Structure 1
């Protein structure tokens, strides 16, 4: 029986009190016996947490009591065991590393498309204006190898900081199409789409909530394989079930977050 609630959430918003916020959130998370990672930077907050449903909801309530995070949306899934070994709250330069300072999602975001709308477009073979739809996977190559949308463009990047160069080299591949970029939970696409719009690619949208929200609301239509996640579960199927029930393996390092994932907790 799945008893551990896992959440992924982020919000691009100006944060000027990073160290104080870090200490406050770490103390509260430890009191609630949560595990996972919270990243705080001047551009916002990004988190992957797991614990009992009551503890996770209490933590979200604490965050949402802060006006900066009042509309924070969390993507949820369940596991039988705790997929993290410890609780980390860290201050970083970026909550998702791109090394492109001009891109500031907190100042305004690029347009997006809802999961149900994307599925309808893929079902009918074009968007509502009759234009072909190109799906652009913004994740790292090894993540893509676990699973992706049928026919998705994959530039085989090894870390997100390579994405700007990849766009410049392959932009002709996107011409004349409605481009929908996607990633695990949506955070990379927030920056990816702003970058592409800055480069004059106005035909680009982002999949709202990423693959995880698509799975939650639509299921696995037009998707092949699983979705890699940076915790002991390794990957999630379209029904949000974990690939690994034994979560004792070490989760890989996430080069885009600039932090090593904690060792996953042993199964019990």
Structure 2
């Protein structure tokens, strides 16, 4: 069985967001869907996977709410169920920036469609910023984009303040995996007085889904937060994996290292004096579960 994976989000005022949780949970479990949906007063965000019919049934259910009628969603496929369970969580923010008053429902940067993105980021007067975290950027990014070297999206405002002089007076174009982080980042930068801010509509995923590879300015693959680890053009699963010990994404070259042991260590976390017994036992349990065709908490790699 192939699974349909849907990444969805929308910034919209949902003052009754807590009341939506039990209905969504029942609906998702009834349809056999797995993944996570986040709800907050500022909107909805999530990635879910299930049969194609189940995913579209849940999206139809959400879009029946007039506030979510134009809910943004992006689709890809997976040969295996990439999630372990279905969760609907209540949050203060659907993507955590940690700056009070930043509200994309009140102000947001200019949306750039994927087919216009190449022209925007090729303009020498445009500063292009990848709003994702460093470990994601290590898997792939757009040519010429700035890596803010953040470990968390909450670090982005500090980076902006530390680099104000270099950014002021420039047109800023930002991007992220699905569009939600760069959209919120654009709201923050507008509130900080940057007048010309734009962001990639639908994020990297929509770009890779819709733009021809031969004219693409994307370099590498795109990290995703599930057991597929990364996808490429056409949103096809690639051959990246992930270290169980440190969660670092691993390229095929990393996996050839003498320091890579499946489920135990990788070139990024290997230490000669590390006690690997518990990791070896964990990997043994993962392998046994796979032989029995049963789910296990371990991730790919």
Alignment of 1:117-196 (within 5 A): 117-122=116-121, 125-126=122-123, 132-196=125-189
Kindly tell me: are residues 106 and 251 of structure 1, through their superposed partners in 2, closer, same or farther at Cα, counting changes over 3 Å?
farther
Q: Which runs of 4+ in 1 moved over 3 A?
A: 244-253, 262-266
User: TM-score w.r.t. structure 1 length?
Assistant: 0.86
For the 8 Å contact 1:119–1:218, the answer to whether it is kept is no
Which structure 2 residue ranges, 5 or more long, are not aligned? 249-295
- Which of the pair has the greater relative contact order for Cα pairs under 8 Å at 6+ separation? 1
Q: CA deviation at 1:217?
A: 1.5
Q: Which has the larger radius of gyration?
A: 2
Once the two structures are superposed, residues 67-120 of structure 1 have per-residue CA deviations (whole angstroms, 9 ceiling, x without a partner) of 111110201111111100111111011110011121111223221211111123
Kindly tell me: are residues 191 and 246 of structure 1, through their superposed partners in 2, closer, same or farther at Cα, counting changes over 3 Å?
closer
State the SS of the aligned residue for 2:105: helix
For the 8 Å contact 2:230–2:240, the answer to whether it is kept is no
State the SS of the aligned residue for 2:178: coil
Cα root mean square deviation, aligned? 2.5
* Match 2:190 to one of 197, 202, 213: 197
Q: Indicate whether 1:209 and 2:202 are aligned.
A: yes
Whole-angstrom CA distance in 2 between matches of 1:245 and 1:181: 25
Once the two structures are superposed, residues 202-252 of structure 1 have per-residue CA deviations (whole angstroms, 9 ceiling, x without a partner) of 122111111001111114411111111110000111231112599997995
User: TM-score w.r.t. structure 2 length?
Assistant: 0.77
For the 8 Å contact 1:232–1:263, the answer to whether it is kept is no
Q: CA deviation at 1:197?
A: 1.2
Q: Indicate whether 1:11 and 2:1 are aligned.
A: no
Query: Match of 1:104?
Result: 103
State the SS of the aligned residue for 1:108: coil
Q: Greater shift after overlay, 145-154 or 168-177?
A: 168-177
State the SS of the aligned residue for 2:163: helix
Q: CA deviation at 1:15?
A: 1.6
For the 8 Å contact 1:9–1:73, the answer to whether it is kept is yes
Kindly tell me: are residues 173 and 252 of structure 1, through their superposed partners in 2, closer, same or farther at Cα, counting changes over 3 Å?
same
Whole-angstrom CA distance in 1 between matches of 2:246 and 2:50: 18
Once the two structures are superposed, residues 9-50 of structure 1 have per-residue CA deviations (whole angstroms, 9 ceiling, x without a partner) of 111112222332111001000000000000011111101000
Whole-angstrom CA distance in 1 between matches of 2:44 and 2:238: 27
Alignment of 1:39-118 (within 5 A): 39-118=38-117
Query: Match of 1:241?
Result: 236
